């Protein structure tokens, strides 16, 4: 378990280019799966079902994890457009 926060966030890009968190792994529209894939390696799968009332714009998903050898890390998806 990750203490002090979740594993993922859904972020929306504002007009000024900044990113604002609009969802996380506690939302019904997000899915987070984690599985060990052998040895010290694991695979995380993150998905979001975009709710029908989501405003158009640029969005991204950020994942925060912890490595036993390298410590905390963050990965961010390429931005995607919601029409």
Are the C-beta atoms of 74 and 57 separated by less than 8 Å? Answer: no
In a domain, 23, yes or no: yes
Q: How far apart are CA 72 and CA 64, in angstroms?
A: 7
Q: What are the Cα distances from residue 79, in Å, to 4, 13, 16, 61, 66?
A: 26, 9, 15, 8, 23
CATH of the domain at 77: 2.60.40.2300
Q: φ, ψ for residue 78 (rounded to 5)?
A: -65, 145
Give 63-74 pLDDT, tens digit per residue: 988 887 888 889
**Does 5 have pLDDT greater than 80?**
no
Q: Is residue 1 in some structural domain?
A: no
Per the structure, the complete domain to which residue 68 belongs is given by 8-82
What is the total count of domains within the chain?
A: 1
Q: What is the pLDDT of residues 14-23, one digit of tens each?
A: 999 999 999 9
């Amino acid at each position: 378990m990750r203490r002090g926060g979740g594993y993922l966030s859904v972020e929306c890009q504002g007009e000024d280019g900044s990113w604002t968190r609009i969802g996380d792994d506690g939302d019904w529209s997000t899915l987070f799966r984690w599985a060990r894939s052998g040895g010290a390696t694991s695979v995380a799968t993150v998905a979001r079902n975009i709710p029908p009332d989501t405003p158009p714009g640029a969005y991204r998903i950020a994942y925060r994890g912890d490595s036993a050898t390298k410590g905390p890390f963050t990965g961010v998806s390429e931005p995607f457009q919601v029409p």
